[in-house]
Every structure is written in C-alpha cells, then in structure tokens.
C-alpha cells in the first residue's frame, strides 16, 4: 500500500470515506479536512490532552493517531457531543461552576470528563483527579473543573 490510503470512518454520527495520506493524523484530519477546530493542539505529543476525542467511546489523543488507525472506527469530537446546538449537562456545569477560563483545554477536558462519567457515574474526587490527569489546564487550577464534574454527576444521578 503506498502513501495514500482510503479511510472509512464515522465522525460525529456521519459516515466519511476519504482517500488520505496514510500518515495524516486524526487531529489534522479533524481540523484541516473537516474544519472541526474544537479539537485543539497544545503540544502535539500526547502530553497535554487538549486534542482529546472519543474513539469508539474512549478518550484518545487525536495527535497520536494516524488516519488508517481510524478505519472502521467511530470518532466523537466536542462538536458532536451534545444534541444539535444544545449543551450537555456537563458542559452547562462547566459554565456554571466557572470551570472555563481561557478555554483552550476545555474541549478536551469536557470530552475526558464525559467518558469518566459514562464509565463511573458517581466518581469520588480522587477518581475525578485520576480521570482528568491526562489533561493539562494552566488557568483554573483544576478545582472548579472538579466541581463541575461533581455537579454533572449529581445531576445525572438525579435524573
């Protein structure tokens, strides 16, 4: 197989078939090919988590994945998280608890927190800290992010 490769995948519920350079990164594909710029690049090496997306429901660093690795897989980005134009309870909690400052880590942080709550609906504070440890934030000191996740967990438990 030469440099180009055909990738058949699903992004935010939509099936996409494209022939691409084989070493195109998922982050490049999302940002440049699909214009999904909610996925941010903070380090491009898997050290900051800003580019986190869900791959088959699990958070991954999209800067560390070549497009052929996405073939026959499902990707959800920050743009695909809520229903059309609506915020999730988690996103709302981020706003209400003051968990957003510069916002650059926020999409990745929201994605990883969404996974955390799906896997563990009632996380302890320690489990939340573990769950978001792969996402650097330089503004908030994490405290309000933790509170937002706790609030969303409580909200989901009540519904």
Partner 1 sequence: MKELDIVGKSIDRPDARAKVSGRALYCDDLPSVSGLLYAGIIKSPVPAGRIKGIHIEDALSVDGVVDIVLAHHIPGKNLVPLIFDDWIVLADKEVRYAGEPIGVVVAEHPRALDIALNKVKVDIEPLPALLSPFDAMKPDARKINPRGNIFNHHKIRRGDVESGFAEADIVVEGEYQTGYQEHAYLEPLSLMAKPTPDQGMQVWGGMQCPFYVQSAVATVLGIALNKVEVIQTTTGGAFGGKEDVPSRFAGIVALAAWRSGRAVRLTFSREEDIVSTSKRHPSFSRYRIGARRDGRLVACTAEVIMDAGAYATLSPSVSWRATVHCCGPYRIPNVRVDVYAVATNKVPAGAFRGFGTPQVIFAMERVMDELANQLKMDPLELRRRNILRRGDTTVTGQRLPWSVGLGRTLQECAKKSNWKKRRKAAEQSTGTKKRGIGCATFLYGVGLGAAGRKIDRAEASVQVEGDGSVRFSVGTTEMGQGMESVLTQIVAEALGGISPGLVTMTEVSTSRVQDSGPTVASRATYMSGNALRIACSQILNRMRAVAGERLHIPASRVVVTGGRFKAGTEEIDFREIACECFERHVPLSARALYDSPPTSWDAETGQGKAYVVYSYATHIAEVEVDTETGIVSVLRFWAAHDVGKAVNPQLVEGQIEGGVVQGIGYALMESLLTANDGHILNPDFETYIIPTSKDIPEIYPIIVESPYPEGPFGAKGFGETPLMGCGAAIANAVSNAIGRPITRLPILPEDILALFKICSAPNR
Partner 2 sequence: MHHSIRDIDYYKPTSIDEALQITHQFCTDPQQKDVKFLAGGTDLIPNIKDGNVRPGVIVEITDIGELRGITQENDQILIKAGTPFDEIVDSPILQKTAPVLVNACGQIGGVQIRNRATIGGNLVNASPSGDSIPPLFVLKSRLHIASLSDGKRVDKIVPIEEFFIGAGKTILRGGELLTAVSFPVPDPQSKGFFMKLGQRRAMTISKVSIALLAKISDSQIDWIRIALGAVAPTVIRARNTESFLSGKNVDDSDTIQQAMEIIKSEVSPIDDIRSYAWYRREMCAVLLKRGLLSVKSG
CB of 22 vs partner 1, minimal distance in Å: 14
Site membership for partner 2, residue 124 (CB under 8 A)? no
Whose tokens are 């490049």? That residue is 28
- Check residue 39 for interaction with partner 2 (CB under 8 A): no
Could you say whether residue 144 binds partner 1 (CB under 8 A)? yes
Q: Site for partner 1 (CB under 8 A): how many residues? A: 52
Nearest CA to 79 among 108, 59, 45, 117? 108
Residue 100, binding choice from partner 1, partner 2, none, Cβ under 5 to 8 Å by partner class: partner 1
3-state SS, the chain, equals: CCCEEEEEEEECCEEEEEEEECCCEHHHHHHHHCCCCCCCCCCCCCCCCCCEEEECCEEEEHHHCEHHHHCCCEEECHHHCCCCCCCCHHHHHHHHCCCCCCCCCHHHHHHHHHHHHHHCCCCCHHHHHHHCCCCCCCCCCCHHHHHHHHHHHHHHHHC
Residues in contact with partner 1, shown as a per-residue x/- string from 93 to 132 under the rule CB under 8 A: -xxx-x-xxxxxxxx--x-----------------xxx-x
State both tokens at 73.
């897989």
Question: Would you say 46 or 82 has its CB closer to partner 2?
Answer: 46
- Chain residues that interact with partner 2, rule: CB under 8 A: 1-3, 5, 21-23, 25, 41, 44-47, 49, 52, 55, 58-61, 63-66, 68-69, 71-72, 112, 115-116, 130-136
Q: Which residues bind partner 1 (CB under 8 A)?
A: 31-32, 35-45, 47-48, 50, 77-79, 82, 87, 91, 94-96, 98, 100-107, 110, 128-130, 132-133, 135-146
């Amino acid at each position: 197989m030469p440099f180009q490769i055909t990738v058949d995948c699903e992004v935010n519920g939509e099936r996409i078939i494209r022939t691409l350079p084989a070493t195109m990164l998922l982050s490049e594909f999302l940002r440049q090919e699909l214009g999904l710029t909610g996925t941010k690049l903070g380090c491009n090496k898997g050290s900051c988590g800003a580019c986190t997306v869900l791959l088959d429901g699990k958070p991954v660093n999209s800067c560390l994945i070549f497009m052929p690795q996405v073939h026959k897989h499902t990707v959800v980005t920050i743009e695909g998280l809520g229903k059309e134009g609506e915020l999730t309870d988690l996103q709302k909690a981020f706003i209400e608890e003051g968990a957003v400052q510069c916002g650059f880590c926020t999409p990745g942080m929201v994605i990883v927190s969404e996974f955390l709550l799906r896997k563990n609906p009632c996380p302890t504070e320690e489990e939340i800290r573990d769950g978001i440890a792969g996402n650097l934030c330089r503004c908030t000191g994490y405290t309000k992010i933790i509170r937002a996740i706790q609030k969303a967990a409580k909200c989901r438990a009540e519904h």
